[in-house]
Structure 1
């Protein structure tokens, strides 16, 4: 039998261990010394309980107003640094991009939904740099100019779609952006708004965005011990795995099909040719190749379509903007031809409409959090290694000091801004950056140069050819969409709304139909695919050993 002294020592050791354990547990959720200010925390949860279940961007905006351009949130075991001014974004994400370009662990979004393969959520490292290098090859400024024939063709089909079934305008906008991307990535056109793979892509991306931003997903990220719970206690795990199954089926189906065509010599030039080269030289797996091509597909399809949907909403809510834009088009282009990308320099107000659409409805509303890879200091504050860093896009865009009356759709904000989107992103003066939808630093969206032309063509031609008005209810009363009702998730857009879209005149309609008919007759085969790929495309030109400089330092 142990002596009483031994028992007392044992009890004391147990008590001490429990005390230390409880003390350490209670430290979780506390804001440690030196961090940027933020809302008061409670033990264990920190600020987790203050994150709303919807419209998170509005809460972040309020905190930015209260705590300033850089504040911190303590979410269980994690620290989140929120940047809510153009200067803080420039100083950290751009100028210190070497250490601010990684990602935090995303158990639901990356591990479960994406099988660890989604480029968007991939940590900074050799695999990410290799993929970025390949993507840079087809999306850089010079390459982007070569895709205008694709954009022009898809835009003309979109216009005819709006003529034939204007109530399906969202579907036509989505097919436009999706078909451009499928041509660049896989070498084929998406010819119908009813294409099941088109519908599956947008539906699946919505599910991914929702799953990645739920309270359950956040809890599993912040408290890893919860991942040990059985599936019946974590129903989100089963849903996430099912999203992954369907998503992988779509992406791998596209990839394996085009890979077979590449290897037998029947594929058209496309990005996947570069992926096959990478498989041969760098051992890229089929799973990673499938998700890399799929990531490009979702990135090129969803956000541009959501921006165009927001543009349509803005036109019916702010009809004075539509009228002024159409006046510019009538003066510069006239009624006898469609606008083209060659008109960009002479249609400054239309370009302003594009910039304002991106500012007014930022689809990447809080960005995708970066992660810092080493301890840092800024403005006297400590930023710890592995902290998440959020680009508060909504907060910056809706800052009345930067953009007076921010919920007003007002393209004249950019009357003196003649920069391209890329030039604005790289401007050494952050106050002169137009918007932050495409991110910052080494994680900046490389597709912005293509998106800019796609948006310009769509905005200019829709305004040239159509009037957009509020729909009338059964009593003849106009139905005004609520501009503050947004979809929820990692990426957002306007909630569904209705619009009355009609051609400006019979002549405008005739010209739009004739433009599409001429394109079909001269460019497309019986399956509505290109007879021949236009010359000069910056596709299938990747050299695995080439070096690519980082775009933003």
Structure 2
């Protein structure tokens, strides 16, 4: 018998079967391997790819470590799927900005699909519904439209400073109340005068339930193994949680919508976002479900990120008293002691602006952004970002790049006085790429956050007022020793949210405190259009506080 006939079956059918099975086996063995056209990355394992070393928490640290080793664009293999991580301004601009139509999609997310019916603008796939939601949100949140909401934003900021005066120990929750009340007023026309306001607490509960539901490991990998969604509910407790949350969300957001409609019917509209959406619902071609979850998405995003930023800023300012001193000198010179800073003052406060930028840089609220999906192949740097790959922007890695920033781990607002983007001198400031550095927290391309103007107003106004009116320092124990702060003590969430900590927040002088009380009293007229649906307890709280000021 020849060698050939000893290796291959005599029957053509058997030979064909062998070839087919060999091809299947080869394809199976190739799962998890990095294709040659992909950007480099850490070594893969057969079948698994990089799944064993894939980070599920504080992913930005691992992404940055890999970027420093393999390059600013790396690829990871998760079984047969591909993840691309971008850790440079140039790659982000090229892939997310220049190819914004190709990278405007989101990865599949079965949980949010079931929860919102595919109507949540943050997670929705690129398509006709997304285009309607995007057009509506951008028109309703244009710079001019947002400028009309400044009175309530300024008023809420005034209460925030008043809350610090009254009870500085609850400073952490004061920021949350402020952020909740601003976005609730802007979107649905009703404010939250207390952290314990029922509307605020219901939103917090819904958000916590959702965050826990989507946390890695809490639910089966539905997007990787779609068949798991057909497991009966009695064997899948996550389905019960999801069903209850959907019911709670629809009751909550639907209730807010109904109250907005009733206010409009009474002729007591206050010009909130949802009022304008409802007035133009047919023009925008919005279904009731689309309108409901558009409002929901704005509340969810706006109630979390602004508070997290301000909490981070407070910690950083406490840890850097010399930065406080320099900012206060500027505020005293430009604003003076007899009034609080106003939005119109910000352009005349370059150092305060630098502080704001440096907080964004050293502690970005969203460290790796929300993932995009490529709908076609993209060529970059001699490699291919393939169709259907999931793409992350490693924002933290960019902001901590030693090639761009001198001593990036150092909190140093002065870098922004020397260069408008905080860069080393050799990079200059004329490159089109650097413009992205200012707003990376707010997303990229066609998926950029439409609420950016509201967020920027909140941040600049409150940082300037906090520095104007208060001295921030570490809390002390009974024996007089200071309680040190932990910069890395964060909540296990997708945003850089600090855990609460003790600190000292004291008015700079009685003169400053008197100004805060006076301006809070003067803000009553701005508050009143947004207090039509207050509960009895909230009404009593508002009445008592205002009477005490008279």
TM-score normalised by L of structure 2: 0.87
- 1:150-209 CA-to-partner distances (Å, cap 9, x unmatched) read 111111111111111111112211222222222221112222111122123234334434
Give the conservation status (yes or no) of the 8 Å contact 2:189–2:530: no
> Which segments of 5 or more consecutive residues in structure 2 lack a partner in the other structure?
1-8, 422-428, 534-550
Deviations 1:235-256 (A, max 9, x none): 4444444443333332222123
- Equivalent of residue 30 in structure 2, options 27, 30, 38: 27
Matched, 1:303 2:312: no
2:46 to 20, 43, 47: 43
CA contact (8 A) 2:364 2:441 kept: yes
Equivalent residue number for residue 494 of structure 2: 490
Cα deviation for residue 42 of structure 1 reads 1.7
Please say if residues 222 and 228 of structure 2, whose CA atoms lie closer than 8 Å, have aligned partners that are also in contact: yes
Structure exhibiting the larger radius of gyration computed from Cα positions: 2
**CA gap 1:348/1:100 in 2 versus in 1, 3 angstroms:** same
User: RMSD of the alignment, in Å?
Assistant: 2.7
Name the structure 2 match of 1:178: 180
CA apart distance, 1:267: 3.0
Residues matched between the structures, number: 517
- Mapped to 2, the partners of 1:38 and 1:509 lie a distance apart of 56
- Say whether residues 1:457 and 2:461 are aligned partners: yes
Quick check: 259-268 or 323-332, which moved more? 259-268
2:116 counterpart (114, 119, 123): 114
Match of 1:334 in 2: 336
Q: Relative to structure 1, is the Cα distance of residues 297 and 82 closer, same or farther in structure 2, using a 3 angstrom cutoff?
A: same
* Counterpart in the other structure of 1:429: 432
Deviation for aligned residue 1:517? 1.1
Aligned partner of 2:153 in structure 1 is: 151
Q: What is the CA deviation profile of residues 6-55 of structure 1, one whole-angstrom value per residue up to 9, with x for unaligned ones? A: 9x888877766655544433333221220111111123322122123422
Q: CA deviation at 1:216?
A: 5.4
CA deviation digits over 1:258-289, x for unaligned, max 9?
A: 23433554432122134324543455332221
Q: What SS does the aligned partner of 2:75 have?
A: strand
Match of 2:370 in 1: 368
- SS of structure 1 residue aligned to 2:77: strand
Change (3 A) 1:277 1:510: closer
Instruction: Determine if contact 1:102/1:370 at 8 Å carries over to the other structure.
Output: yes
TM-score (norm 1): 0.86
Q: Paired residue for 1:313?
A: 315
Q: Note closer, same or farther for the CA distance 1:247–1:526 as it changes in structure 2 (3 Å cut).
A: closer
Q: Which residue of 1 aligns with 2:139?
A: 137
Q: Where does structure 1 lack aligned partners over 5 or more consecutive residues? A: 1-5, 420-425, 531-553
3-state secondary structure, aligned to 1:48: coil
Per the TM alignment, residue 313 of structure 1 is displaced from its structure 2 partner at its CA by 0.7
- For 1:416 and 1:242, locate their aligned partners in 2 and report how far apart those are by CA, in whole Å: 53
Aligned pair 1:94/2:97, yes or no?
yes
Deviations 1:411-444 (A, max 9, x none): 112114569xxxxxx9862235335111111111
Could you tell me how far apart the structure 2 residues matched to 1:354 and 1:301 are? 19
CA distance in 1, matches of 2:232, 2:294: 31
Say whether residues 1:66 and 2:81 are aligned partners: no
SS of the equivalent of 1:248 reads: helix
Question: Which residue does the alignment assign to 1:214?
Answer: 216
Deviation at 1:511, TM superposition (A): 0.9
What residue number does 2:521 align with?
A: 517
CA distance in 2, matches of 1:204, 1:348: 39
Residues 506/71 of structure 1: CA separation in 2 closer, same or farther (3 Å cut): same
Post-superposition offset of 1:527:
8.2
Closer, same or farther: CA 289–366 of 1 in aligned 2, 3 Å: same
* Structure 1 residues 206 and 324: alpha-carbon distance in aligned structure 2, compared to 1, 3 A threshold: farther
